[in-house]
Every structure is written in C-alpha cells, then in structure tokens.
C-alpha cells in the first residue's frame, strides 16, 4: 500500500511503500487479524539533526468484532465492523501502529557528537576551534559530586 493513503501523523517515510502481511482467522466473536507491517521511515537525530532511515517490521494482532459491546476501553485491540459490510478500512490503525513505533529521542548512533553549541557545526563530520565555557552553567554544581 502507499504511505500517501494513510492519515498524516507526522511520520516521514523513506519511500512510499508499506507492506502488510496479514492473515485472518475466524474466532467466536469475529476475526483475529495477525501479521506484520513493514516499511522504512526517516527520523531526524536529536543531536546532529541528520536524517537516517530505519527499517520497521511491526507485529500486528487485532480482533475484528461485529459486537459493539466488545469494542470499549477494556478491549483496545478490538475493531468494530458491522455484519452488513464486506470490507473495513484499516488505514487509521496502520498509521497509529507505525507512529507509535517511532522513537521518542532518535539518535543516528550511540556515539553521535551532535552540533557545536557555539558555531552549530556537525561534530560528526568535522571539528571546530570553539571553546566552551561551562563555568556559567547552573549545572556545574553537579560536577562536585
């Protein structure tokens, strides 16, 4: 499926492709839907602001039920669908699953040096001659511990 078909949650896709490998099983109250959602997203590193791609393979397990009583807050993995329809639009659900998999503070790697606070140069790509004065920082008190 195309990423353009999904509601905008702010996710930046590397390409427009989302692959859903799903299977459905008939259960007592409807259908059990399980499988994996695969896509590649771009994240901006919070330290150096460079974009990096991340391949995602997200498991999905949902229940589709025609009984509205099973779709309240206690049944968050339930999706309601009336018996009189023959298809259901899962775009909101797929978009939510991808969005919730995004890291809160993405880093390009664990050793990212970030940007120089004085001149703004990316310290992963080059160095600068800036001198950092930390004596005015209110956090300097923590150096005494």
pLDDT by 10-residue block (mean), the chain, 145 residues: 91 92 89 94 95 94 76 62 82 92 92 93 93 71 81
By CB atoms closer than 10 A (0-12, 13-18, 19+), residue 62 is buried
Measured CA angle at 62 (ends 89, 76), to 5 deg:
95
**How many domains is the chain partitioned into structurally?**
2
Same domain, 41 and 20: yes
Residues 24 and 87 in one domain: yes
Query: What is the residue whose two structure tokens read 């120089």?
Result: 116
Check residue 5 and give its pLDDT: 92
pLDDT of residue 82: 77
| Predicted local distance difference test score (pLDDT) of residue 50 | 95
Please indicate, yes or no, whether residues 77 and 8 belong to a single structural domain of this protein: yes
Look at residues 37, 41, 49, 43 and name the one whose alpha carbon lies nearest to residue 1.
37
Three-state SS for 11? coil
The verdict on 50 and 120 lying in the same domain is no
- The residue segments making up the domain with residue 141 are 113-145
Q: What is the pLDDT of residue 74?
A: 53
pTM given for the model:
0.76
Q: How confident is the model at residue 132, as a pLDDT?
A: 73
What pLDDT shows up at residue 143?
80
Q: Are 73 and 100 in a shared domain?
A: yes
User: What pLDDT does residue 108 have?
Assistant: 93
pLDDT for position 70: 52
**Spatial contact of 63 and 30, defined as CB atoms under 8 Å apart:** yes
């Amino acid at each position: 499926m195309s990423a353009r078909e999904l509601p905008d949650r702010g996710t930046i896709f590397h390409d427009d492709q989302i692959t859903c490998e799903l299977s459905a099983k008939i259960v007592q109250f409807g259908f059990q839907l399980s499988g994996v959602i695969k896509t590649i997203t771009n994240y901006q590193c919070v330290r150096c602001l460079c974009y990096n791609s991340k391949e995602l393979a997200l498991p999905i397990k949902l229940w589709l039920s025609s009984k509205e009583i099973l779709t309240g807050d206690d049944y968050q993995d339930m999706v309601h669908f009336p018996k009189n329809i023959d298809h259901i639009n899962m775009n909101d659900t797929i978009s939510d699953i991808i969005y919730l998999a995004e890291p809160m503070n993405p880093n390009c790697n664990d050793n990212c040096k970030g940007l120089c606070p004085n001149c703004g140069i990316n310290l992963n790509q080059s160095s600068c001659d800036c001198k950092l004065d930390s004596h005015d920082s209110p956090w300097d008190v923590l150096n005494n511990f």
